[in-house]
Amino acid sequence: MIDNNILKEKFQSYFGEGEPRLFTAPGRINIIGEHTDYNGGFVLPGAVDKAITMAILPNHTDIVNLISIDHDCAAVFFRIGGPQPKEQWASYFYGVIEEMRKRGATVGGFNAVFGGDVPLGAGMSSSAALESCIGTALNAIYSLKFTREELAKIGQMTEHNYIGVRCGIMDQFASIFGQKGHVVRLDCRSLEYQLVPFKPKGIEIVLIDTMVKHLLASSEYNVRRAQCEEGVSVIKKYLPNVELLRDVTMEELEAHRAEIDPVSFRRCAFVVSENQRLMDACAAMEKGDFEEVGRLIYATHDGLSKEYGVSCAELDFIVDIAREHKEVLGARMMGGGFGGCVIALVKKEGVAAYIEDVKKRYQVKFDKDPRVIEVEISDGAREI
């Protein structure tokens, strides 16, 4: 997390007197449950100890003055209700304000300085962390009384309407609802959630970023959605109450296999089995059985790579190395695919050896260095 004193010093050097309030919101990881969200299924994210933090104070005008430490202290100002700023990072502020105003809130002008340590491009949802931080701060300083669920939806709609990203709600939900020592089992259809204890003794979460960009992710994402919908349309002819793959059992899917395109069948089979793996992982966590959680995580990667077809050589390579280390309980690609991070659960005594092995062999194989990120499960958006 960025140093709070630095934020306050920057705030006072730019805006003069006044004691700003400090707010923070974290990035997230997802333990298990990939490509289940848009199929109405379950996900299991957790907030982490990498966050966006903001110093903010109302200025009693209709002007928003912003300083971004992460963009070399770039300054932007805009009028509430005026044109959207051209800078994308400032558009997150604009979008959150506009979504709040749509819901009847009155938001005044303010001065803010913000920055963070959520790694960019690593699939840890730095944008959701920023939206959640903004929403939490404005909700508090203007006593708007939005619920946490409403704040998550405001962040999601900011992405849709002002950034142009048609995201699900997992990222914002995890950033808002996260709790130290727990992951969030979220039902992506009903938004019902449960905090599941996640306290693996002697085990660390290690992320290894391939430094590969998700070049195919957006186009292939749409293809995967269509393939899942194709499977649902076949089954719906026989079971009219089926709306999403969430509603389908493996037995029902197998019963109509002959009518579904073979590739689409594999996509659907992955999603149905992934929902079950997530439930099994939650049960194992509650028993403290992280060996079983690791086995399920490896199974998820195999499904993502072979059935769902969203992995890549770099991701598979890092997971294959993990399998050679007995201290690594489980590893898989995390996120949309075609690049990004591998998430691994590693016994503490094996972390250094695993990281060193990956770094050495990855550089030789792909002529680039991976980025290593160690994280802990942390609390969600809050005032400091």
User: Read out DSSP for 65-128?
Assistant: EEEEGGGTTEEEEEETTSPPPSSHHHHHHHHHHHHHHHTT-----EEEEEEE-PPTTSSS-HHH
Shared domain for 52 and 188, answered yes or no, is: yes
Mean pLDDT of all residues belonging to the chain: 93
In the structure, what pLDDT confidence band is assigned to residue 356 with cuts at 50, 70 and 90? very high
**pLDDT exceeds 70 at position 282:** yes
Catalytic residue among 62, 70, 171, 289: 171
Select from 166, 198, 230 the last residue of a domain: 198
Higher pLDDT, 121 or 323: 323
Per-residue confidence (pLDDT) for residue 221, from 0 to 100: 78
Whether 59 maps to a domain, the answer reads yes
Per-residue confidence (pLDDT) for residue 71, from 0 to 100: 84
Whether 384 maps to a domain, the answer reads no
Q: What is the CATH number of the domain that holds 107?
A: 3.30.230.10
Higher pLDDT, 323 or 167: 323
In the structure, what pLDDT confidence band is assigned to residue 120 with cuts at 50, 70 and 90? confident
Whether 16 maps to a domain, the answer reads yes
Per-residue confidence (pLDDT) for residue 17, from 0 to 100: 75
Q: H helices of the chain, where?
A: 4-15, 88-102, 126-141, 148-158, 170-177, 217-236, 250-255, 262-287, 290-302, 313-323, 351-366
Structural domain including 210 reads: 203-375
d(CA 159, CA 83): 17
Instruction: Taking the CA atoms of 346, 350, 351 and 353 in sequence, report the sign of the dihedral they define.
Output: negative
Residue type, 377: I
Q: Residue 250 in contact with residue 269, Cβ under 8 Å?
A: yes
Per-residue confidence (pLDDT) for residue 214, from 0 to 100: 67
Select from 137, 166, 198 the last residue of a domain: 198
**pLDDT exceeds 90 at position 18:** no
Per-residue confidence (pLDDT) for residue 217, from 0 to 100: 61
Shared domain for 209 and 238, answered yes or no, is: yes
Shared domain for 348 and 266, answered yes or no, is: yes
Shared domain for 194 and 221, answered yes or no, is: no
**By percentage, how much of the chain surpasses pLDDT 70?**
98
Average pLDDT over residues 266-292: 95
H/E stretch holding 22 reads: strand 21-30
Whether 383 maps to a domain, the answer reads no
Shared domain for 216 and 301, answered yes or no, is: yes
**pLDDT exceeds 90 at position 319:** yes
Q: 3-state class of 373 per DSSP?
A: strand
Whether 284 maps to a domain, the answer reads yes
pTM of the model: 0.89
Per-residue confidence (pLDDT) for residue 353, from 0 to 100: 97
Select from 172, 198, 224 the last residue of a domain: 198
Q: Judging by DSSP bridges, how do beta strands 63-68 and 110-116 pair with one another?
A: parallel
**pLDDT exceeds 90 at position 124:** no
| Structural domain count of the chain | 2
Shared domain for 285 and 344, answered yes or no, is: yes
**pLDDT exceeds 90 at position 165:** no
**pLDDT exceeds 80 at position 80:** yes
Average pLDDT over residues 224-253: 95
Per-residue confidence (pLDDT) for residue 337, from 0 to 100: 84
d(CA 28, CA 173): 10
**pLDDT exceeds 70 at position 215:** no
Shared domain for 28 and 117, answered yes or no, is: yes
In the structure, what pLDDT confidence band is assigned to residue 164 with cuts at 50, 70 and 90? confident
Shared domain for 64 and 180, answered yes or no, is: yes
Shared domain for 293 and 147, answered yes or no, is: no
d(CA 363, CA 356): 11
Whether 257 maps to a domain, the answer reads yes
Q: What is the CATH number of the domain that holds 223?
A: 3.30.70.890
Instruction: Decide if 117 is catalytic.
Output: no
The model's pLDDT over 324-341, given as tens digits with 9 standing for 90+, comes to 999 999 999 998 888 889
**pLDDT exceeds 80 at position 344:** yes
Whether 382 maps to a domain, the answer reads no
Shared domain for 22 and 163, answered yes or no, is: yes
Q: Residue 261 in contact with residue 22, Cβ under 8 Å?
A: no
**pLDDT exceeds 90 at position 123:** no
Shared domain for 189 and 133, answered yes or no, is: yes
Whether 32 maps to a domain, the answer reads yes
Shared domain for 36 and 183, answered yes or no, is: yes
**By percentage, how much of the chain surpasses pLDDT 90?**
83
